[in-house]
Structure 1
Amino acid sequence: MNNSRRNFIKQTGLAAASITLLPYLGCAETAKIKKFGIQLYSLRNEITSGIEKVIGEVAKAGYNYVEGYGYSEKTGFFGLKPQAYKDLLDKNNLTTPSAHYDFGDWEKSQDDSILKSYIDAAKILDQKYIVVPYTNPDIFKDETACRAYIAKLNRASKIVKDAGLKLAYHNHDLEFFDLKGKTGFSILLEESDPELLDLELDLYWVMRAKQDPIQLFKDHPGRFTMWHVKDMSKTNNLKNTEVGNGTIDFTTIFKNAKLSGLKYPFVEQENFEIDPYQSITKSASYLSKLIK
């Protein structure tokens, strides 16, 4: 998600290391991933013509669950109140384990009624995660601002945890700015409680920031319970392509799913060169073969 995406959401209401890892790996043996979802931002242009058709096409393409975005108390999800949105998903045999909720206003105001509205919606939808999708990139250019922001996230994560849910943070590349040998992402991982905050790792943005996702898994096993499975075009790294059609080695990355702590992989594609429904179907076909 970049600045234009944030604006769109606003507008729509919208060896030694192995010793450390062994205990976690033992617990993760049963965590075989057999299902996958899609972040509905991929189909934001199609949603303007009606969410019902989009959800039907997502189910037809082979996805098991969806991740929404852009919720507000006034407009709900895509014009549907949470219960109506859940009913639509139920009708299409889909679930929604998480959604992206805008934290911009909360970060500025610290008004916890905003969090409460998100928690209320998430519970109606039987969601497990409330995801912070984006923040002001200037925060991650200054270590003091970064640490202050993380302190706010820690407070939010405790509120969400006390409500029986869990907060997660979704990255872009902005979290990897150099801060005198550290990055905002490393500070976030170090200064947040694994019991309270999970990470939704956007693999495209990690690779675009020239980071190694597998090294992140090794350094912080179990923290990355959700992924955005988004491929990078072979001809233009600013563009996406169908999963399996680009430059990212998902085969190797998925072999480390247990180490990551992965529970929910979501396909996401922010731009298309072919029909979007054909594209998401190709991505689903590739992913279903990869994880079977």
Structure 2
Amino acid sequence: MTTRRNFIINTSLAAAAVLAAPSLAFTMNKKEIGLQLYTLRDELPKDVKSTLEKVAKAGYTIVETYGFSIKDQFWGLSPKELKKILDDNNLKALSGHYNLGSFLYDGNTAELIAAIEAAKVLKNEFLTIPWVDEHFRKSIENYKIIAARLNEAAKMCKKAGLKLAYHNHDFEFQKHDGVTGYEILLKETDKDLVYFELDLYWVARSGNDSLKLFKENPGRFKMWHVKDMDKVNQALNTEIGSGLIDFKPLFKEAKQSGMLHFFVEQENNYVPNSFESIKTSCDFISKNLI
């Protein structure tokens, strides 16, 4: 018979066990598998509802949105309408990719303000900047301007209850007078305000080492894109676990990275189709990485 005293003792022992094994507690918080919805960019505009239903059935519980614009919102849906569909499928949009128009270059805040409002409706935790146009990333000075804008946007996000993150490709690792753009962004942004979403594929594709980045910048990479590299053609993606990237050492250092959320992304080379691909990736991660 379970007495109140035994219940308290057993509960206390369980809590002590978790405290004694922080790595286990960290792992337990990483059970949710996310999907960057850009993976399904051909399907979503046709039928948002059925596409998100299939995302949930594939095993995902969190997503990262993309494609918001002031004119079309999300594929013709308002943030409120999209939130309803997400809720109906028990999906949480913890991050969103928001192109901020000219803000990074001239400080025009119109799209940033609209993005913040959309992110608040969706209950995003992170407002993530996915891309910088080539014309504005050609020099050290360009990257210094971008860093300053990121700091400014991060302050606005904080006031709205959001966090700002920056997502990389490979171009940030190109050197300008011996310094990479990514080094400038890491150095010149406020580490307490600006976070980074590390795309593991693009780091590998650029010839760099994610583990080295974790060690040199602990805690700054709050999100990852988990995207694998095709064994035959490295310019292509493949399902997680089928490619060249060994994710196990990376997940072992998730705590050093600071990773809170991760999102599967696959942009091409789906086998046999995009819906089967996302399920294959989700199954592999569930069985082998978390």
Common topology (TM > 0.5): yes
State whether structure 2 residue 22 is matched by structure 1 residue 31: no
2:249 matched residue in structure 1: 252
Which of these residues, 275, 278, 283, is aligned with residue 277 of structure 1? 275
Contact 1:129 1:165 in 2 (8 A): yes
Identity of aligned residues (%): 45
Contact 1:31 1:263 in 2 (8 A): no
Give the Cα separation in 2 of the matches to 1:51 and 1:28: 37
Cα 1:166/1:28, change in 2 over 3 Å: farther
State whether structure 2 residue 217 is matched by structure 1 residue 231: no
Structure 2 unmatched ranges of 5 or more:
1-20
Which amino acid in structure 2 is aligned with residue 279 of structure 1? S
Deviates more, 1:47-56 or 1:167-176: 47-56
State whether structure 2 residue 176 is matched by structure 1 residue 179: yes
2:65 matched residue in structure 1: 68
2:162 matched residue in structure 1: 165
Contact 1:29 1:258 in 2 (8 A): no
CA displacement 1:88-123 (0-9 Å, x = unmatched): 001001000010000232224422232221111111
CA displacement 1:121-159 (0-9 Å, x = unmatched): 111111111000000234333111111221111111111
2:4 matched residue in structure 1: none
Which amino acid in structure 1 is aligned with residue 26 of structure 2? A
CA displacement 1:72-93 (0-9 Å, x = unmatched): 2322212111111010001001
State whether structure 2 residue 269 is matched by structure 1 residue 290: no
Structure 1 unmatched ranges of 5 or more:
1-25
Which of these residues, 51, 72, 76, is aligned with residue 79 of structure 1? 76
Give the Cα separation in 2 of the matches to 1:58 and 1:273: 15
Give the Cα separation in 2 of the matches to 1:72 and 1:272: 27
TM-score w.r.t. structure 1 length? 0.88
Contact 2:105 2:145 in 1 (8 A): no
Contact 1:100 1:132 in 2 (8 A): yes
Give the Cα separation in 1 of the matches to 2:162 and 2:23: 21
Give the Cα separation in 2 of the matches to 1:136 and 1:280: 29
1:6 matched residue in structure 2: none
Contact 2:103 2:149 in 1 (8 A): no
Helix, strand or coil for the counterpart of 1:42?
Answer: helix
Deviates more, 1:30-39 or 1:232-241: 30-39
Give the Cα separation in 1 of the matches to 2:151 and 2:91: 31
Helix, strand or coil for the counterpart of 1:122?
Answer: helix
1:47 matched residue in structure 2: 44
1:268 matched residue in structure 2: 265
Helix, strand or coil for the counterpart of 1:31?
Answer: helix
Aligned residues: 267
Helix, strand or coil for the counterpart of 1:47?
Answer: coil
Contact 1:206 1:212 in 2 (8 A): yes
Give the Cα separation in 2 of the matches to 1:92 and 1:54: 11
CA deviation after TM superposition for structure 1 residue 240, in Å: 0.2
2:10 matched residue in structure 1: none
Give the Cα separation in 2 of the matches to 1:288 and 1:252: 16
CA displacement 1:216-258 (0-9 Å, x = unmatched): 0000001001000000000000000000100001011111100
2:138 matched residue in structure 1: 141
Which amino acid in structure 1 is aligned with residue 252 of structure 2? K
Give the Cα separation in 1 of the matches to 2:106 and 2:139: 20
Helix, strand or coil for the counterpart of 1:141?
Answer: coil
2:122 matched residue in structure 1: 125
Deviates more, 1:211-220 or 1:269-278: 269-278
State whether structure 2 residue 108 is matched by structure 1 residue 111: yes
